[in-house]
Structure 1
Amino acid sequence: MSAIAETPVDGKTEPIQVLFLLHEGFDTVDFTGPMETFWYAKNDDISKPEGQAFVIHTVAEDERVISNQGIKIKADMDFEEAEDRLDEFDILAIPGGNVVALLDSKALDDLPTVTIAKAWCALQKKDPSRERTLFSICTGSLFLAKAGLLQGLSATTHPDHYTKFEILCQEAAKADSLVPTNVMEERYVVNNARFDLGPDLDENPFILSKKPDGRRPSTARKGSDAWKLSRRRESLVRRGQLPLGGMRVITAGGITAGLDATLYLIGALVTIEAAKKVAHSLQYVWNKGVTVEGIDV
């Protein structure tokens, strides 16, 4: 049971399980930045003695995987085991780095990151009541675009790869349902928010009070979700009708934008105060992104 389960056991909640998919040549900070940000998050009601709100797991093709910067990581499991255990996790995180080269050199079926991401989405479609998150950092979203998992959603990526990202999204739409992806120039973009904080959107801690200028105007709804501060639960029927079974899909821009999106998740799944404390510990200013296609519009 995760910290976002419907009914906590004995009034306590279990840690939220995060699985990072590490491909060869991943960007070190795309992984270690969000990983450490999650690690700092605490929950006073957590059942584990150390009070961790999140538990991090890693998966790679081999026991050890090397980042683009030469850092070796010992993975917790291989992709076959990860696929067997996929229902144990709450957040699937995909860092960027070396993604364009992998997409250009390998067939889609030969990319285990794509295989796991597709299986993750299939789980959500099968059971929309479960709160799952698909989270990409930097060029990790190119995997999702190539796989056609972002159709009908809004998304972003590293600024140097906007054009490539748009092309991949367009190709995926042409090959399937012709449903486009709205490519946005934002720090991070959240789709399918589960909860709504109410009408006072100016006080919403998750979004920008003023959107920065960009080459493309934002069509984002200025709302967001927070489990402990929500005013009402969403309709699971409506949720199931959304893309990917209403799964929360977050795509972040380059490197530090992954920290921003991680703080969003901490605020949404633990508390806003927990996110603020983590930002303080990191001596980092939380730059807000946008939320689109929430349940309670």
Structure 2
Amino acid sequence: MRTVAIFIFDDVEVLDFTGPFEIFGVAGKQNGQKGYFNVFTVAEKSTISARNNLVITPTYTFENCPIPDILLIPGGGGFRPDGTPFGSRKEMNNQRLLDWVKAMNEKVELLLSVCTGSLILAKAGLLEGLSGTTHYKAVEQMKEVAPNTQLFPQERWVDNGRIILSAGVSAGIDMSLYVVSKLYGQSAASDTATYIQYDYWK
């Protein structure tokens, strides 16, 4: 069983992390099986306020988080009317987070991002010379932050082999199903999509 750590932060987009959490959480659990993944959340602090005031207690913080097999960085946030960044736009300049992500990248099997989580990977220098995607409203910012990353904003997900990125919000569900298929086969992904009645997955 692989472990999946999903990093969360203040103003994280709810579906960015709960969609993948659901996919990895139920994958392989049909027909009485124990499942393919153990999923948990990790944050820099002990309480997180996601978008629309969803308050979450993460399973771990940076201090006690075990090294996962898969690390997922979601997105969410933007700029307030006065220009102040929040959510991923704030976290992309959080040096402690960037150092943690870089350290984890050297240890995990797969590194994933959803939506503007790609900005965090880009600022950590992990997308140099790779391909990527992001939320359609963040494409221009991604070009500025990651000029050496080839962007495919029309794609739901982009696989670089070990680093896989998805487009905005609901695209994280598709990417997660793709990861299930990559690791355990197409039938495992199809069974998961059928179970959650996600008809978009083909």
CA contact (8 A) 1:43 1:270 kept: no
2:167 is matched with 253
What is the CA RMSD across the aligned residues, in angstroms?
2.3
Residues 39-78 of structure 1: matches in 2 within 5 Å?
39-42=25-28, 51-78=34-61
- The one-letter code sitting in structure 2 at the alignment partner of 1:190 is D
> What is the alpha-carbon distance in structure 2 between the residues aligned to residue 107 and residue 138 of structure 1?
13
Residue 25 of structure 1: how far off its partner (Å): 1.0
The structure with the largest alpha-carbon Rg is 1
CA distance in 1, matches of 2:3, 2:107: 16
Partner in structure 2 of residue 234 of structure 1: none
In the alignment, which residue of structure 2 is the partner of 1:115?
A: 99
Q: CA deviation at 1:104?
A: 5.8
List runs of 5+ in structure 1 lacking aligned partners: 1-14, 125-131, 171-179, 193-247, 289-297
Alignment of 1:1-297 (within 5 A): 15-42=1-28, 51-82=34-65, 85-86=66-67, 89-98=68-77, 101-102=85-86, 108=93, 110-123=94-107, 132-170=109-147, 180-185=148-153, 186-192=155-161, 248-287=162-201
**How far apart are residue 286 of structure 1 and its match?**
4.5
SS of alignment partner, residue 81 of structure 1: coil
Greater share of strand: 2
SS in 2 for 1:285: coil
Q: 1:123 to 1:16 in 2, by over 3 A?
A: closer
Conserved? CA contact 1:43–1:274, under 8 Å: no
Secondary structure of 1:279's match? helix
Runs of 4+ in 1 over 4 A off after TM superposition: 102-107
TM-score normalised over the length of structure 1: 0.61
Q: Secondary structure at the match of 1:151?
A: coil
What is the CA distance between 1:182 and its match in structure 2?
A: 0.7
Percent identity of equivalent pairs: 34
Which 5+ residue runs of structure 2 have no aligned equivalent?
80-84
Does structure 2 conserve the Cα–Cα contact (< 8 Å) formed by 1:23 and 1:61? yes
Contact 1:64 1:73 in 2 (8 A): yes
Cα distance between partner residues in 2 of 1:287 and 1:278: 10
Local SS of the residue matching 1:80: coil
Given residue 187 of structure 1, which amino acid in structure 2 is its aligned partner? R
